[in-house]
Amino acid sequence: MTTSAGVTEDGPTRVLVVDDVPDNVEILHARLASRGYEVVTATNGPEALEAVKVQAPHLILLDVMMPGMDGHEVTRRIKDDDSLPFIPIILVTALTETEDVVQGLESGADDHISKPYNFNELEARMRAMLRVKRLQDELDLKNRELEHANIRLKKLSVTDGLTELFNHRHVHEQLHDEWERSRRTGEPVGVAMIDLDKFKRINDTYGHPTGDVVLYETARIIKETAREIDMVGRYGGEEFIAILPNTDEQEAAAFAERVRAAVEEHLYRDGAVEIRMTTSCGVASSQASQADTPEELLKAADEALYEAKRSGRNRAVRATQVETPQPQA
């Protein structure tokens, strides 16, 4: 919807007029302002670039023949600036040779008009360029929306919906990546398996919504205990996993102990229901366990977790503390 030539439902159309001849600037300013355009002026290239930097116009009418920096150079600089939106540039020139027109278009200009020009023709070209800008702006908006949607989709594909931690599949991918990095650098990678003790009774006694509260709050505790470089995921059910880069077994056990203590101290609330929980943890490190694959490292941490459960729960056990059964003679 347009209320006058230079005014749309979004407000006045802002036009930057660039010309080193004051009379030309004054005439264009008066004619465009009378048609409802918001007019900004500049008398040379550097002024034009500064005006664009302060507030990008919707369209630029740019004289080609200016001392110092000509219109072609101004056009190139504006079009090469990726931080700017699409701004149509109409070159206004007294040069009518084909090679001059070609040079203007190759510099990035979107249209040209020769002096002396008819104002009705100039405004028709302006309207055409502004239609192109609206279409380009709509396309840019759709592309941004698509990019954001893809980012959200990517996040959903790697995230557990309840706890907002990484999901089982993505944790495995991260462990493999971290294992390869560990092999290249020689730095250890630690793994902590963390399981809520007697979680089934929570669902049986209070229902799954309360169980979901316990899972979510436990996830927050683990995430807050971890470092920024650590990768925390929901391994399945009430079991969580933390992948700890550049972490030996002692450091991994210290992390698990901090999680265990924080969970034990935390009071879970779901309405009037108040619950205390504990966790059992099993930790392993690539160097201490002498694992040859990421799967073997996971197995070592899982066996340590089983030992934590077997020996009384609410504790963290290292893989090297688990006795390996000796083969029968």
Nearest to 124 by CA among 41, 216, 59: 59
Q: How far apart are CA 93 and CA 115, in angstroms?
A: 6
Alpha-carbon 202 to chain mean position: 37
CA dihedral 293, 295, 296, 301 (to 10 degrees): 130
Supply angle C-alpha 76, 79, 81, rounded to 5: 105
CA pair distance 39, 60, nearest whole angstrom: 10
- Report residue 9 as tokens: 């439902």
Kindly provide the residue ranges of all beta strands, DSSP E only, lying in the chain, ordered along the sequence: 2-4, 7-8, 11-12, 14-18, 38-42, 59-63, 89-93, 111-114, 189-196, 231-236, 239-245, 267-270, 273-276, 279-285, 316-318
**Amino acid of residue 163:** T
List Cα–Cα distances, 36 to 7, 31, 123, 285, in angstroms. 6, 9, 12, 71
Omega within 30 of 0 (cis) for the link into 116: yes
Helix (H) or strand (E) holding 162: none
DSSP summary character for residue 319: G
Catalytic residues, which ones?
Answer: 238
Order of strands across the sheet that contains 189-196 = 231-236, 239-245, 189-196, 279-285, 316-318
DSSP annotation string for 284-300: EEHHHHT-SSHHHHHHH
Judged by phi (left if over 0) then psi (alpha if -120 to 50, else beta), residue 276 lies in beta
